[in-house]
Amino acid sequence: MDKLTNVSIMVESLSRIYHRLRKEVNGQLVNEGLSMSKMKILQLIITGKTSATDIKNYMGFSSRTVVTVLDALEKEEMLQRKQSPTDRRVKYVHITQKGLEKLSLAEEIHKVILDRIFSPLSEIQLKNFSEICKSLEFQKK
């Protein structure tokens, strides 16, 4: 096999691993009214002033998707939207106590599943995998 074929096989394998992880995590989180996307949004808004535009840019979602997810999280009382005191066009999103509790539970579920999926790898393999991911993620375009 040539290098291109090997890379293609690795990418397909990585995609299958990611989808399996996502399916397992979402399957567990659905019982808590969450998903990986909702968990990622809650993790993002815990860091401070966050707008729907910030979430859209970070997650790579469409505006409509972000609004739909934020509406659901607000309805479930996991976040609140508050008007910016300096710009009436902007609403910031803040996590609630219920959101913090759900996020903590979601992160624990996520960690358990990640630990199980990556348990066959040695410390050296995990370190190498981490370095490879960083190299690919942050390469210059």
| Number of domains into which the chain is organized | 1
Backbone angles phi, psi at 83, to 5 degrees: -65, 140
- Please state the rounded mean pLDDT for residues 92-105: 94
pTM, 2 dp: 0.79
Q: pLDDT tens digits for 27-43?
A: 999 988 899 889 999 99
Q: pLDDT tens digits for 63-86?
A: 999 999 999 999 999 999 988 888
* CATH number of the structural domain spanning residue 47: 1.10.10.10
In the prediction, which pLDDT does 141 show? 64
For residue 87, name the pLDDT band (cuts at 50, 70, 90): confident
Position 1 pLDDT exceeds 70:
no
**Can you give the residue range of the structural domain that contains 133?**
3-137
Query: 118, 110 in Cβ contact below 8 A?
Result: no
In 3D, which of 2, 20, 13, 50 has the Cα closest to residue 116?
A: 20
The angle, 0 to 180 degrees and rounded to 10, between the axes of the packed helices 3-29 and 97-118 is 140
Maximum pairwise Cα distance, the chain: 60
